[in-house]
Amino acid sequence: MSQSYAMTAPLTRSSVEAAHRVVAPDIHRTPVLTSSSIDTIASTPQSSESLIGTPWEGQTPASPQLKLFFKCENFQKVGAFKARGAFHALSRLSEEEVKNGVVTHSSGNHAQALAYAARTRGITAYIVMPSISTPSKIAATRGYGANVVFSGSTAAEREVVAKEVIERTGARFIPPYDHPDIILGQGTMALELEEQVKELDTESFKDDSGGRGRGLLDAVISPLGGGGMLSGIATALSGTGTRVFGSEPSFQGGDDGRRGLAEGKRITSVSTLTIADGLRTPLGEINWTVISDKSKVEGVYSVGEEQIKKAMKLLLERLKVWVEPSSCVPLAVVLFDEDFRKECVRLNVRRLGVVLSGGNTTVEAVSKLFGPDE
């Protein structure tokens, strides 16, 4: 869906800082949590037996020494990081531009975020949601006063319905991820994470191999769906020395970002029913320009469904936080992807920020993921 970017700010750290000044009054400064028990698990080599049947069978398991800092966007307004981009995008539009309302398409988190931000400004919101969206996300979006219109599950099907709504109402389209204003808004979490790690780091972290030192992150890893969050974080941290990584579900080709980087071109179509439902969308055009820049994003890694579930269980039981499956993908990569773990050793990544992107799921949905024997 074509957009005009003539009046948008450049994708720079200073633009993210400006965005943060704008949205700070409307969002939560979400907490950063740590867990010594999860640090120990992440720093313990996987058993050779667990690598049987994987690409790393027969290899010596990696031994990274990690201290993890969890940025808990599951505590953000509407329960996910998307509130940042939605508030920033609306702040950039005049009353005239939104007089007929706003419209977007989303599986749930951006839907709720735009509905909430629009209600705050007294703007009518039309939200196109896949009919298979989580019922709680549909109910929450309607609860914020939005008009929900259903579509098929693929990005292409959503866009067709969104176009029909625009033609019928004259509403302004607010992309879920593929727009500079959205990217800059999402990147604000990285600025907070930097500040919070410095505040938390009152005790020295033993680093015998020359890490960056107290208060400084070596790297950040976040989920990757459409790419608004990852490209925002990469923009915010560009030039700081903190490396940035992405993580995706591999189920049914959900790892389009990883595959696109390997092939050297953006993959434009994704059709997956991964449990990480917030990551079912293909990487956006503008997001691709950031994420494919090796100076901004170090790499993207992917994990399977069972690994995502194991990470989710660990976060629920050890960190005591309520998260949706999409939020668990970064930790799953940290725990189970040997290529990533070896990269942490090679690059001396020890202090790692892990983004927990949202917590919009239900007891019923989680119960279906974990049977009585798990």
Q: What is the pLDDT of residues 264-309, one digit of tens each?
A: 999 998 889 999 988 988 899 999 999 999 999 999 999 999 999 9
d(CA 34, CA 59): 30
Query: Is-catalytic flag, 82?
Result: yes
Q: Is the pLDDT of residue 366 over 50?
A: yes
Classify each residue of 284-295 as buried b or exposed e, where b means 16 or more C-beta atoms within 10 Å of its C-beta.
Answer: bebbbebbbeee
Is pLDDT above 50 for 2? no
Question: Which CATH architecture does the domain made up of 82-178 adopt?
Answer: 3-Layer(aba) Sandwich (3.40)
- For the whole prediction, is pTM greater than 0.85? yes
81: three-class secondary structure by DSSP: coil
Spatial distance between the Cα atoms of 372 and 374, rounded to a whole number of angstroms: 6
Distance CA 125, CA 39 (A): 42
The pLDDT, as a whole number, for residue 157 is 87
Contact present, 54 and 93 (Cβ < 8 Å): no
Tokens linked to 276: 């990480």
- Asked whether the domain spanning 82-178 has the same topology as the one spanning 13-79+181-369, the reply is yes
Residue ranges of domains in the chain:
13-79+181-369, 82-178
Helix boundaries (H) for 205-349: 228-237, 256-263, 285-291, 305-314, 325-336, 338-346
Q: Which fold has domain 13-79+181-369?
A: Rossmann fold (3.40.50)
Q: Determine the longest span between alpha carbons in the chain, in angstroms.
A: 63
Q: What tokens does 370 get?
A: 């974990």
End-to-end Cα spacing for the chain: 43
Judged by average pLDDT, the poorest of 104-113, 329-338, 355-364 is: 104-113
Residue range 182-192, pLDDT digits in tens: 999 999 999 99
Which entry of 82, 137, 296, 310 is annotated as an active-site residue? 82
* The pairing of beta strand 219-223 with beta strand 351-356: parallel
Instruction: Considering the candidates 107, 222, 292, 302, report the single residue annotated as catalytic.
Output: 107
Q: Are strands 172-173 and 299-303 parallel, antiparallel or unpaired?
A: unpaired
Return the higher-pLDDT residue of 54 and 108.
Answer: 54
296 is an active site residue: no
Tell me what the mean pLDDT of segment 183-208 comes to.
Answer: 82
Model pLDDT for residues 222-266, shown as the tens digit of each residue: 999 999 999 999 999 999 999 999 999 999 999 999 999 999 999
